[in-house]
A and B are shown apart, each in its own frame.
Chain A
Amino acid sequence: MHEYGITESLLKIVEDKAHEAGVTKVSVIRIVVGALTGFVPESIQFYFDTMCKDTVAAGATLEFEELPVSLRCRSCGQLFEPPSREWICPACASPEVTIEGGRELYIKEMEVS
């Protein structure tokens, strides 16, 4: 699946940032993943455990924060988080929406020493 390349990109960013900040060890990496992305945290962790050896992030823990699906109603403008896959505006019952959130994939922060 596509987590291998994602994990490579992740590690590259972590190494660059660690280098910029002059740190020698990264112990925790916090990653934000939207609920609509196809990315599987367990897969990222799996690849990361192999790739991180011999890097500044060797043995680091990955912590994932999942962001919910967030939709905006195209009829009345209401922003809402649907409780299920039934994407219906709670204010006006319109099913016509724009996806506002849930597609994120970014590194939020890391703990270093």
Chain B
Amino acid sequence: MRKIEIVQGILDANEATAEGNRALLDSHRCLTVNIMAAPGAGKTSVILRTMAGLQPDTRIGVIEGDVASTVDAEKVQGAASAVVQINTHGMPESCALVADMIHVALERMPLDELDVVLIENVGNLLCPAEFNLGEHLRVVIASTPEGDDKPVKYAVIYADADAVIINKSDLTPYVDFDMNRFTRAVRNINDRAVFFPMSCKTGEGVAEWVAWLREKRATM
């Protein structure tokens, strides 16, 4: 019996694929946004608002990750230049998108004809935090009915976020959500995230978010 020292990251293969994805997206100048949130926070609504805000001068592709249905893909179908649906049911990873799935999806997209790729991750605040997809921006959507303590409970996903959208701001008067407490909780573990209070219902805050994305695309 002898020992072999290894010290090799189990996620190294995912990281390598993610780097490949990033290089491909860079070469086509496709700003790619990984959108993560709990189920029901409003990922699809934010994507629809984002597309409406960026169009008509921005060409948008959407990768829809979902456990089983094509409901979300159907909703965005009309507005996007290209939509690829990934059903994670039956795949090794059913609770999050991984870099391999994005690699396959990108092969099916006309990247030369796209400026922005929006990735709707599977609704979950734990698993997507572990997987780099090769995206340029990691965005977490919180929604006010979830409560302001989620950054404490799901620290990892918030720690890595480049932007945090606080959706359903129109419901703030009716739910226990203290905006200052929420932003402070994120700031405690993340010194760079940009905050976008938003209501997909009323459209509040959408313009600021869209302007930020435009700037990110322009400077890449």
Chain B residues with Cβ under 8 A from A12's Cβ?
Answer: 13
Contact at A5–B1, with CB atoms within 8 Å? no
Chain A residues with Cβ under 8 A from B131's Cβ?
Answer: 2
Contact at B152–A2, with CB atoms within 8 Å? no
User: In whole angstroms, how far apart are the Cα atoms of A85 and B3 in the complex?
Assistant: 36
Contact at B7–A5, with CB atoms within 8 Å? no
Contact at B156–A36, with CB atoms within 8 Å? yes
Query: What is the total of A-B residue contacts with beta carbons within 8 Å?
Result: 100
Contact at B92–A111, with CB atoms within 8 Å? no
Counting contact residues on chain A (CB < 8 A from B), the size range is 35 or more
A80 CB–B CB distance under 8 Å: no
B105 CB–A CB distance under 8 Å: no
User: In whole angstroms, how far apart are the Cα atoms of A5 and B12 in the complex?
Assistant: 12
Contact at A110–B4, with CB atoms within 8 Å? yes
Contact at A5–B92, with CB atoms within 8 Å? yes
User: In whole angstroms, how far apart are the Cα atoms of A1 and B67 in the complex?
Assistant: 11
Partner of A105, one of B3, B5, B11, B189: B11
User: In whole angstroms, how far apart are the Cα atoms of A32 and B17 in the complex?
Assistant: 22
Chain B residues with Cβ under 8 A from A105's Cβ?
Answer: 9-11, 130
A52 CB–B CB distance under 8 Å: no
Give the shortest distance, in Å, between B153 (CB) and chain A (any CB). Answer: 8
Chain B residues with Cβ under 8 A from A21's Cβ?
Answer: 4
A55 CB–B CB distance under 8 Å: no
Q: A4-B93, A103-B156 are in contact. Are A111 and B6 (CB under 8 A)?
A: no
B87 CB–A CB distance under 8 Å: no
Chain B residues with Cβ under 8 A from A85's Cβ?
Answer: 152
Contact at A99–B156, with CB atoms within 8 Å? yes
Question: In the complex, what residue of chain B is closest to A107 when comparing beta carbons?
Answer: B6
Q: Which of B2, B4, B9, B98 counts the most chain A CB atoms within 10 A?
A: B4
Contact at B7–A99, with CB atoms within 8 Å? no
Q: A2-B96, A4-B93, A9-B14 are in contact. Are A108 and B127 (CB under 8 A)?
A: no
User: In whole angstroms, how far apart are the Cα atoms of A33 and B85 in the complex?
Assistant: 32
Interface residues of B in 176-203 (CB under 8 A from A): 187-189, 191
Q: Which residues of B contact A (CB under 8 A)?
A: 1-14, 92-96, 98, 126-127, 129-131, 152, 155-156, 159, 187-189, 191
The contact sample of 23 A-B pairs, CB cut-off 8 A, is: A2-B93, A2-B95, A2-B96, A4-B92, A5-B93, A6-B10, A9-B11, A9-B14, A12-B13, A21-B4, A23-B4, A37-B156, A38-B129, A96-B188, A96-B191, A105-B11, A105-B130, A106-B8, A109-B5, A111-B4, A112-B1, A112-B2, A113-B2
